[in-house]
Amino acid sequence: MSYLDHGQRLDHTAAALHLHPNTVRYRMRRLRDLVGMPPTPAEPDGRWPVLVTVQWWWALRTWLAD
């Protein structure tokens, strides 16, 4: 959720979570592998399209609720 809260910016997310950007990158990759999301952002500006963003949000909410 922090990734979405920080405009899908890896550096801002890492700073907010007090983590190294590589740690955030690893966790995003691991989440992607677990939920089957596309491997790279699908839009030219490097941001996820709305549908994929909603899928990420749903997956995170579901995972955190368990």
> What is the structure's pLDDT at 20?
95
pLDDT(19) > 90: yes
In this structure, the chain runs to a length of: 66
Classify the phi-psi angles of 38: left when phi > 0, otherwise alpha if psi is within -120 to 50, otherwise beta. beta
Q: What are phi and psi of 40, to 5 degrees?
A: -140, 155
State the Cα–Cα distance between residues 56 and 18, nearest whole angstrom: 22
Q: What is the pTM of this model?
A: 0.58
First to last CA, the chain: 15
Provide the pLDDT for residue 30.
Answer: 83
User: Is the pLDDT assigned to residue 27 strictly greater than 80?
Assistant: yes
